[in-house]
């Protein structure tokens, strides 16, 4: 499968199949009042993701019902990508910092991404 954007007969982007990807959903719960510090650490980490070429997707989400919970949605190019992510210097620094802001150990759920659709305007900085 090529890396080029696939389009249908009307020129609209198609959803992509994602072979050989590995994914994680991570639940992070900050100490009471600690979500700003948690988000600060995550924002600094995400700015370093170009150092992890096998990390293909990383999304930080706020939990609308639990004010101290942050969710991470990540996927990697294969199992080797997960290993490269976990051995990256930035990840080690993030984990050390999270030890001081989390109230519980991270909850991690593994998954295999199968198919994706992303509105074209999101990655082209165009209004939707």
Domains in the chain and their CATH numbers? 17-114 (3.30.70.100)
Instruction: Give Cα 104 distance to the centre of its chain.
Output: 20
Buried b / exposed e along 85-108 (16+ C-beta atoms within 10 A) = beebebbeebeebbeebbeeeeee
* pTM as predicted: 0.82
Q: pLDDT tens digits, residue range 67-98?
A: 999 999 999 999 999 999 999 999 999 999 99
Least confident range from 52-56, 102-106, 116-120: namely: 116-120
What was the pLDDT predicted at 125?
Answer: 63
pLDDT tens digit string along 7-39? 777 777 666 677 889 999 999 999 999 999 999
43-67 b/e (C-beta count within 10 Å ≥ 16 → b): eebeeebeebebbbebebeeeeeee
d(CA 87, CA 82): 9
| Bridge pairing between strands 107-111 and 21-29 | antiparallel
pLDDT at 2 over 60: no
């Amino acid at each position: 499968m090529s890396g080029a954007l696939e389009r249908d007969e009307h020129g609209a982007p198609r959803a992509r199949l994602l072979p050989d990807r590995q994914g994680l959903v991570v639940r992070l719960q900050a100490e009471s009042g600690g979500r700003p510090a948690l988000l600060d650490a995550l924002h600094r980490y995400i700015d370093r993701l170009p150092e992890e070429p096998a990390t293909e997707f990383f999304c930080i989400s706020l939990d609308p019902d639990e004010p101290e919970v942050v969710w991470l949605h990540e996927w990697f190019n294969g199992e080797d990508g997960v290993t490269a992510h976990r051995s990256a210097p930035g990840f080690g620094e993030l984990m050390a910092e999270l030890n001081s802001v989390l109230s519980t150990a991270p909850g991690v759920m593994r998954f295999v991404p199968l198919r994706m659709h992303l509105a074209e305007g999101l990655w082209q900085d165009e209004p939707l």
